Amino acid sequence: MIKKKEELCVAVNEKMRGGEGSVIIEHLLDKDGLCQKGRLYARVVLKPGCSIGYHTHEGETETYYIMKGTASYNDNGAETTLTVGDVAYTPDGCGHGVKNGGTVDLEMIALIILI
């Protein structure tokens, strides 16, 4: 299966999970493409000042791979900074949140796998 860029579904979520501003989600695969074992595989873009609010994952895991920019990342209550090439993994039962506190877009790949 091949999906051309113009075929990808793009959604804009406002104040996602109680965060600030807009989050652009470019869905790379849907649930069928993930064989019903995942909920999300997407390129996520946060403009400067935008964030995804802190939330907990139940029955699933989430992984971020940072492709561009710098993220202020809340890893289950511990604050840290993520930069290009860093990977953040949130296991089942744990929480996280992310903010773009920089001056360029924060771009990352997000993968949610169902447990």
pLDDT digits (tens, 9 = 90+) for 53-85: 999 999 999 999 999 999 999 999 999 999 999
Number of neighbouring beta carbons within 10 Å of residue 23: 23
Query: 2 Cβ partners below 8 Å, 6+ apart?
Result: none
Q: What per-residue confidence (pLDDT) applies to 79?
A: 98
| Amino acid 81: pLDDT | 98
| Sign of the alpha-carbon torsion through 52, 79, 57, 29 | positive
Delineate the domains of the chain, giving CATH numbers in brackets: 7-70+83-96+103-114 (2.60.120.10)
pLDDT of residue 28: 98
Q: What is the pLDDT of residue 1?
A: 85
Which residues, given as ranges, of the chain have pLDDT below 70? none
Whole-number pLDDT of residue 44: 98
Predicted confidence at residue 40, as pLDDT, reads 97
